[in-house]
Structure 1
């Protein structure tokens, strides 16, 4: 197996659990908070900094600096002078690249699908679910009222969306931003895992299923 699976997810949709179980079933490494820990270790920055900055949007000015630095190279002096948000983004970006070179794995969020967009082994997945189902799940997990759960979902989704849209110039959660979008409310966790496994199999076997139109006049 060569496939690297990246999973974007709506808050409360179960993307974390789906990714972790998938990695366990396949016997491959899993990176969620583990990615932050590794990026912190490799960059020399403390883990708490990465946790505080995790998937939070930044200013367009900082983003421009980050991408210019990444594209054209940087010296140790330049790195030491970077704003903190810039250091965190660049460290995560580089860590994702390194992880992908080590072999198949599952990576949760952090624009990993964008960082690995040119990798032929990438399979990018987005997990979503009906809002009310997510409200019930978050209410139960965190012992919150429905209103508080709904507010937490809204804030987390907004933060993830802003972060992803800005750094990737794509639309968070839009079907054309990913290889595969799955509704965990309909499929369940087991169903999502089964579909992803089948997608991996098809990808690695190189099977292609062209679209066949029943009515040739339909485009």
Structure 2
């Protein structure tokens, strides 16, 4: 896979974005980046800058981090529920952190308005994962062990928070499919099939062996 390739995945909550994103990154031998990655990078960079007066330390930090695939154990990982309140301490430097983490690629970026932040990157492909409400609701009930009423309320709040975040950062509607190269209803196929569809599309667009 080209080192210049950047894959961004936008998704509606409850669509399995974490699992699909991580498994896609493994198949592509790419770094995986999501909200947790960005938060950890922000904390690490702050610590480096506090402990060192050497201006080159931050550059070295990014070089080391960018060479390390960041993957969690998909089987045991439960996605974070998006905070309804602002995470402004991270958001203030988020674009800088994302660009430094991704470097020249290859990278798979889940969320964080990646479709917008990497819109001018020549090697970027932008994907969107969606599904019907009932499919997403069932996933929330299973993942977070919630009763249907509680899961429905949480999913509604998370949908609103996600859409507001995207609009705040980009000024765009995340559900406008013109933002993406490919949109997929993951409720119609299983995750293995979804990943194969994405890989086939990447190959068709780049001509590179996967």
TM-score by length of 2: 0.75
Structure 1 residue runs of 4 or more that deviate by more than 4 Å after TM superposition: 54-58
What is the count of residue pairs matched by the alignment?
173
Question: What corresponds to 1:154 in structure 2?
Answer: 156
Aligned equivalent of 1:190, options 189, 192, 195:
192
Question: What corresponds to 1:180 in structure 2?
Answer: 182
Whose Rg is larger? 1
Q: Deviation of residue 15 (structure 1)?
A: 0.9
- 1:93 aligned to 2:112? no
Q: Deviation of residue 156 (structure 1)?
A: 0.8
Any idea what SS the aligned residue of 1:186 has?
coil
Distance 1:57 1:196, change over 3 A: farther
Distance 1:57 1:163, change over 3 A: farther
Q: Deviation of residue 144 (structure 1)?
A: 0.7
More helix by share: 1
**Given that residues 55 and 163 in structure 1 are in contact (C-alpha distance below 8 angstroms), is that contact kept between their aligned partners in structure 2?**
no
Q: Deviation of residue 40 (structure 1)?
A: 2.5
**Given that residues 135 and 150 in structure 1 are in contact (C-alpha distance below 8 angstroms), is that contact kept between their aligned partners in structure 2?**
yes
Aligned equivalent of 2:39, options 24, 36, 39:
36
Question: What corresponds to 2:15 in structure 1?
Answer: 13
- The RMSD of aligned alpha carbons is 2.3
**Given that residues 125 and 181 in structure 2 are in contact (C-alpha distance below 8 angstroms), is that contact kept between their aligned partners in structure 1?**
yes
Q: Deviation of residue 122 (structure 1)?
A: 0.8
Question: What corresponds to 1:201 in structure 2?
Answer: 203
Aligned equivalent of 1:26, options 21, 25, 28:
28
Unaligned runs of 5+ in 2: 50-79
- Equivalences for residues 38-187 of structure 1 within 5 A: 38-44=41-47, 85=88, 87-187=89-189
TM-score by length of 1: 0.72
Unaligned runs of 5+ in 1: 46-51, 59-83, 207-219
Distance 1:4 1:55, change over 3 A: farther
